[in-house]
Structure 1
């Protein structure tokens, strides 16, 4: 009989907010336990954060982007990840 794989899920959110020449980028990690952690200090690109998560066994499942260019510029990128539970 085949063992069923069970998964846990997490979310990485990249937020870019700009106004004129000034901008900020932040990365927030939403863990499978409901925790919320600002991980901006761990890297300045989404690739850096995704590679770090990959080394911890996370696999990218999907990505989505929201862009609002009224009154400056705001981009929100959501990266949905999963990994098997032990």
Structure 2
């Protein structure tokens, strides 16, 4: 019988907050150990971050977006990732 694959999961969150011509984009990494780390300095696009963690063995399994444009603009993108446990 084949061994069952065990997975660990993580979450990358991109937050865009804007008001008129002023805006701020940030990225936060939620690790499988429950840690939370600001990783904004690693890149200014989601693709840069996804490629970086892809090289670490993470695979994108789902993405979700929340947009609130009532006052200014707020977007939250969530990238759900998994990789096999070592």
* TM-score (structure 1 length as normaliser): 0.99
Q: Are positions 1:8 and 2:8 aligned together?
A: yes
Q: How many residues align?
A: 86
Cα deviation, residue 47, structure 1? 0.1
The runs of at least 4 aligned residues of structure 1 exceeding 2 Å deviation read none
Equivalent residue runs for 1:62-73 within 5 Å: 62-73=62-73
1:51 is matched with which residue?
51
* SS class of match (2:54): helix
* SS class of match (1:41): helix
* TM-score (structure 2 length as normaliser): 0.99
Give me the CA root mean square deviation. Answer: 0.3
Q: What is the alpha-carbon distance in structure 2 between the residues aligned to residue 21 and residue 42 of structure 1? A: 24
* SS class of match (2:5): coil
Q: What is the alpha-carbon distance in structure 2 between the residues aligned to residue 2 and residue 12 of structure 1? A: 31
Q: What is the alpha-carbon distance in structure 2 between the residues aligned to residue 85 and residue 17 of structure 1? A: 35
